[in-house]
């Protein structure tokens, strides 16, 4: 049974549920399963019955908690009602199982633990300190007496002890433990040598014949593809800016200077 409870207490979805039922909201918590009544039984957990009215009260309380957590962002249509109802019922069943188990296992919450838990609940504080007046007034507003609230809170504390014990525990098979031990205790030996060429450079003599021989053996390393470098100038008359029209005197002087050679033909 403990392993089944542990499986239900792991995973990202359960953290959402745990976040809802944390102790600061304890006085809004699940209604006690000891109340009787003639209403139909929804589910029976061991010798404990969860009635329809208890389930309805638990569902409404959970919706109120969500509304308080989300504030203005709360929208009822955001939740799948059928799935949410099933989640609330599963949580109530789990809560009943854990309450029965902790009673049989002898878990107890001391008076000091009870007082310490109550004093840390923000709803019962004024200016960061516990207030007895706020404690009584807040419980009265929710229809709780101090005795009834403290009885339920004691059960919640021991259930949280069980829950934390399961969540914080781990089970390691013998083979896994042995492997982890071998990995943690294993050792490695590494050897290496450092070669510094500069220490031996003065002792080396290279003959020209050796250089030529190495060049012939690896000639391809010292060659590069053929390349051609071309430089040219392009003259385009249509790209030149238009010249100004020459004056008549300038044309006449050119004509007179070149008349015999360019502008005269033999008879």
Please give the C-alpha separations between residue 236 and each of 140, 230, 232, 241, 264, in angstroms, as whole numbers: 104, 19, 13, 11, 32
Selected from 1.10.4030.10, 3.90.79.10, 3.10.20.30, 1.10.10.10, the CATH number assigned to the domain covering 2-171 reads 1.10.4030.10
Report the pLDDT value the prediction gives residue 77, as an integer from 0 to 100: 78
Q: Do residues 102 and 162 lie in contact, with contact meaning Cβ atoms separated by under 8 Å?
A: yes
Helix (H) or strand (E) holding 250: helix 248-262
Distance CA 30, CA 50 (A): 11
DSSP element (H, E) containing 51 = strand 48-51
Residue with tokens 């006449």: 252
Question: How far from each other are the two terminal CA atoms of the chain, in whole angstroms?
Answer: 137
pLDDT in tens, the chain (267 residues): 444 444 444 444 444 444 444 433 333 344 444 444 467 888 888 888 888 888 888 888 888 888 888 888 888 777 788 888 898 889 888 888 888 888 888 888 888 888 888 888 888 888 888 988 888 888 888 778 888 888 888 888 888 887 787 778 777 889 988 999 999 999 999 999 998 988 888 888 889 999 999 999 998 888 888 889 999 998 888 888 888 888 999 889 989 888 888 888 888
Whether pTM > 0.75 for this model: the answer is no
Q: Which two tokens stand for residue 50?
A: 């969860």
Burial of 48 (0-12, 13-18, 19+ CB in 10 A): middle
Cα separation, 224 vs 201, whole angstroms: 29
What residues contact 139, with CB distance under 8 A and at least 6 apart?
A: 27, 145, 146, 149
Opening angle at CA 158, ends 155 and 160, nearest 5: 105
The angle subtended at Cα 241 by Cα 238 and Cα 247, nearest 5°, is 115
| pLDDT tens-digit map of 119-134 | 888 888 888 889 888 8
């Amino acid at each position: 049974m403990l392993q089944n409870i542990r499986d239900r207490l792991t995973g990202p979805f359960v953290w959402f549920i745990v976040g809802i039922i944390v102790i600061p909201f304890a006085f809004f918590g699940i209604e006690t399963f000891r109340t009787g009544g003639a209403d139909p039984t929804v589910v029976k957990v061991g010798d404990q019955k969860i009635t329809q009215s208890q389930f309805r009260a638990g569902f409404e309380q959970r919706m109120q908690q969500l509304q308080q957590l989300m504030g203005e962002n709360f929208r009822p249509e955001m939740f799948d009602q059928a799935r949410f109802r099933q989640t609330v019922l599963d949580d109530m069943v789990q809560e009943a199982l854990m309450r029965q188990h902790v009673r049989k296992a002898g878990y107890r919450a001391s008076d000091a633990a009870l007082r310490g838990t109550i004093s840390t609940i923000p709803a019962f504080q004024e200016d960061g300190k516990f207030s007895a007046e706020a404690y009584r007034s807040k419980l009265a507003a929710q229809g709780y007496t101090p005795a009834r609230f403290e009885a339920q809170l004691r059960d919640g504390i021991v259930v949280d002890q069980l829950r934390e014990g399961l969540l914080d525990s781990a089970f390691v098979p013998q083979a896994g433990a042995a492997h982890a031990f071998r990995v943690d205790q294993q050792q490695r030996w590494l050897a290496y040598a450092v070669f510094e060429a500069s220490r031996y450079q003065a002792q080396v003599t290279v003959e020209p014949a050796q250089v030529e021989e190495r060049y012939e053996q690896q000639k391809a390393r010292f060659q590069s593809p053929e390349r051609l470098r071309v430089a040219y100038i392009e003259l385009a008359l249509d790209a030149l800016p238009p010249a100004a029209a020459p004056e008549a005197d300038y044309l006449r002087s050119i004509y007179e200077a070149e008349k015999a050679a360019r502008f005269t033909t033999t008879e």
